Amino acid sequence: MSDVALPLGHAAAAPAGERTHRGEALAAWLLTAPAILAFVLMLLIPTAAVVAIAFTDYELGAPALRFVGLANFAELLEDRGFVTSFRNTAFFVAVTTPVSIIGGLMLALLIESGTRGRAFFRAVFFLPVVSLMVAMATAFQYMFHPTIGPVNAALRGLGIVGPNWLGSSDSVMWTLSIIGVWEQIGFNMVLFLAGLTAIPRDLYAAAEVDGVRSAWSRFWTVTWPLLGPTSLFVLTITMIRSLRVFDIVATLTQGGPNKASEVLLYTMYTEGFTFFRMGYSAAITVVFLGAVVVLMLLQTRVLDRRVHYG
């Protein structure tokens, strides 16, 4: 970090500066003290504790706890419920990530390619990001209702018998994924819009001089390479957001039917706060944290590369 050199320069200052320097350090610690205290109490200790609890058989209200080593993690691998939960989360991430990224990019290109209605359409697609997801989920529950929902009513009009969207284990994860895409696409669109605005206009003119005429080849020769860093950033962010799916499951399916829509955070929630199996729930939290950290590190490396190439 470049600022490491700064304190040395200061320390070399005359004794007159010595007192202000010490005053500065004191002020710095006083200014950071509240944040440090809250950080340690609310984040650092609890996170360390959750990792520690994951290696115990702690249950809320139980008189004692025992160190059980990796037993919780071994149980996770045997637990069909957890395996389903893990697989469902992976499914949700695998479906919502590409669809909401490609969809977000296409919306951004569509909006950017003209001047009319930009702010209006941007607002329309961004609306889900600021909407209370629990409330919107109940709206989706009505829309996807097998008998009275407008989605199946429309399908009936076309002579198709619609599925029991949220009520059947075959379709429930697909339905949740549709809602997930709806929730995320506007966020990605806005990130891509920012990326598109950053592309210098004269590059397109230069490409035109070089004989790049069609919109299609313009996209692949200019837009896409220059959007590369944005896309990689959007990719990791979207994966992490998808990994945290909880609200729509808690509101709409509670993991059902038959555990067909259990996802990591919801399983962690029920194990810990419904059954009070804290040790087991903590182990699921550690798995979740591990997945997020892997994706975050991926992002940091990607961002590092972006600095190099930029």
Partner 1 sequence: MTPSSPHDKSLVADLPRLALLSVLGLIFLMPYIWMISVSLKPLDEVWRASMSLIPQTFAFEKNYGRVLSEVPIGRYLLNGAIVCFGILVFQLAFALPAGYALAKLNFRGRETLFAFVMLGLLIPAHVPAIPLYIAFAQTGILNTYAALIAPSTISVFAIFMFRQFFRAMPDELIHAARMDGLGEWSIVWRIIVPNAWPAATAFAIFSVVAHWNDLFWPLIAVSGKGELATPALGVIYFRTEEAGDDFGALMAAATITTIPLVAAFLIAQRRFIEGITMTGLKG
206-245: which residues touch partner 1 (CB under 8 A)?
A: 208, 215, 218, 237, 240-241, 244
Q: Under rule CB under 8 A, which residues in 152-171 are in contact with partner 1?
A: 153-154, 157
288 binds partner 1 (CB under 8 A): yes
Tell me how far, at minimum, the Cβ of 258 lies from partner 1, in Å.
20
Q: Under rule CB under 8 A, which residues in 102-121 are in contact with partner 1?
A: 107, 110-111, 113-117, 119, 121
Tell me how far, at minimum, the Cβ of 274 lies from partner 1, in Å.
10
Tell me how far, at minimum, the Cβ of 308 lies from partner 1, in Å.
19
42 binds partner 1 (CB under 8 A): yes
Give the interface segment with partner 1, choosing from 71-79, 81-89, 149-157, 159-167 (CB under 8 A). Answer: 149-157
28 binds partner 1 (CB under 8 A): yes
Among 55, 76, 122, 261, binds partner 1 (CB under 8 A): 122
Transcribe the chain into DSSP letters.
-GGGHHHHHHHTS-HHHHHHHHHHHHHHHHHHHHHHHHHIIIIIHHHHHHHHHTTB---TT-S---B-TTHHHHHHHH-HHHHHHHHHHHHHHHHHHHHHHHHHHHHHHHHHT-STTHHHHHHHHHHHHHS-HHHHHHHHHHHT-TTT-HHHHHHHHTT-----TTTSTTTHHHHHHHHHHHHHHHHHHHHHHHHHHTS-HHHHHHHHHTT--SHHHHIIIIIHHHHHHHHHHHHHHHHHHHHT--HHHHHHTTT-STTTT--HHHHHHIIIIIS--HHHHHHHHHHHHHHHHHHHHHHHHHHHHHHHH-
**For residue 292, which of 245, 248, 259, 252 has the smallest C-alpha distance?**
245
Give the interface segment with partner 1, choosing from 66-74, 81-89, 162-170, 285-293 (CB under 8 A). Answer: 285-293
Give the interface segment with partner 1, choosing from 17-25, 75-83, 88-96, 162-170 (CB under 8 A). Answer: 17-25
Contacts of 71-79 spanning 24+ positions with Cβ under 8 A? 72/279, 72/280, 72/282, 72/283, 73/283, 73/286, 73/287, 75/280, 75/283, 76/280, 76/283, 76/284, 76/287
Tell me how far, at minimum, the Cβ of 259 lies from partner 1, in Å.
19
Tell me how far, at minimum, the Cβ of 86 lies from partner 1, in Å.
16
65 binds partner 1 (CB under 8 A): no
285 binds partner 1 (CB under 8 A): yes
Among 36, 62, 83, 160, binds partner 1 (CB under 8 A): 36
Among 68, 71, 99, 143, binds partner 1 (CB under 8 A): 143
Among 74, 194, 224, 225, binds partner 1 (CB under 8 A): 194
Is the CB of 74 or the CB of 134 nearer to partner 1? 134
Phi, psi of 301 (to 5 degrees): -65, -40
201 binds partner 1 (CB under 8 A): yes
Among 66, 94, 98, 142, binds partner 1 (CB under 8 A): 142
Is the CB of 60 or the CB of 74 nearer to partner 1? 60
265 binds partner 1 (CB under 8 A): yes
